[in-house]
Amino acid sequence: MRVLVTGAASALGQEIAAALKADQSVQLRLLDDCAAPRQEVEWVAARLTDPDAVRPAVRDVDAIVHPGEPPPMPASEEALLDRATRGTHVLLQAAVEAGVKRFVYGSTLDVFRAYPDTVYVTEYYKPLPPPELAVLARYLGELTCREFVRDYPITGTALRLGKLVRAEEVAGQERDLLWVDMRDAAQAFCAALARDASASLDWVPRWAVYHIVAPGAHPKFLCDRAKAMGYQPQHELGGAKV
């Protein structure tokens, strides 16, 4: 399987790429708008908002992983919003034109911050995004993906990610119900690539949303659906076994 990973310079993009490189059946292509680091993987330096640069990048790939992470260099709020919305639109339009059948997007669980911690939040709850551009941009990117799946025969999977951390860095700290180990998040992206409902004439099976968070004794976000999809968290967070 040939996979394109966008945002490859971000910490999450690097984790996803490392996980996919370990799979001998995957041919990897990485994309970001910066110079390529030293590695034995094909690299495309392109801005997501540039259709002429994105079209060649999606050519001959079977699936696209779009983590949705902001660029490594600080950007203005306008640029962040443009990347998440127009950039995601350009990427999906190029993917549809190239016949790509699977698209995995990294959204955020911050859209549920307004719900109290005493509520068990599932994928069927209504998002209540706060008036923060970083959160709104990620959520608007998710909605862009959904609308493409409504209109075109492509499988869209949105992973609503918790707060990315590393278990060793938060060891002994009070647990945050939004935490998820970055390596477990990367594994969720790899698992989501197995979804392919693009042949369905009904758009509903083609679109799926999963919560990606570290499970615990009293979680706020339930991830049973994600586990059924193939999510297998392996790391301890805040002293609780994951």
Helix/strand/coil for 168: helix
Q: Residue 168, CB half-sphere, CA atoms under 13 Å: how many? A: 1
Q: What is the pLDDT of residues 97-149, one digit of tens each?
A: 999 999 999 999 999 999 999 999 999 999 999 999 999 999 999 999 999 99
Q: Rounded CA gap, 236 and 168, in Å?
A: 8
pLDDT at 201: 94
Q: What angle do CA 58, 59, 62 make, to 5 degrees?
A: 75
**pLDDT band of 72, cuts 50, 70, 90:** low
Query: In terms of Cα–Cα distance, which of 156, 160, 141, 231 is closest to 200?
Result: 156
pLDDT at 74: 60
C-alpha distances in Å from residue 150, one per residue of 1, 126, 183, 200: 24, 19, 31, 11
pLDDT at 78: 86
pLDDT at 73: 64
Is the predicted pLDDT of residue 240 greater than 60, yes or no? Answer: no
Spans of all domains in the chain: 2-229
Whole-model pTM?
Answer: 0.94
Is the predicted pLDDT of residue 167 greater than 60, yes or no? Answer: yes
Q: What is the pLDDT of residues 9-30, one digit of tens each?
A: 999 999 999 999 999 899 999 9
The DSSP output letter for 167 is G
Is the predicted pLDDT of residue 242 greater than 90, yes or no? Answer: no
Q: Would the CA dihedral through 38, 21, 63, 97 be positive or negative? A: positive
Superfamily of domain 2-229: NAD(P)-binding Rossmann-like Domain (3.40.50.720)
Beta bridge partners of 121: 221
**pLDDT band of 70, cuts 50, 70, 90:** confident
Average pLDDT, the chain: 92
**pLDDT band of 41, cuts 50, 70, 90:** confident
Is the predicted pLDDT of residue 239 greater than 60, yes or no? Answer: no
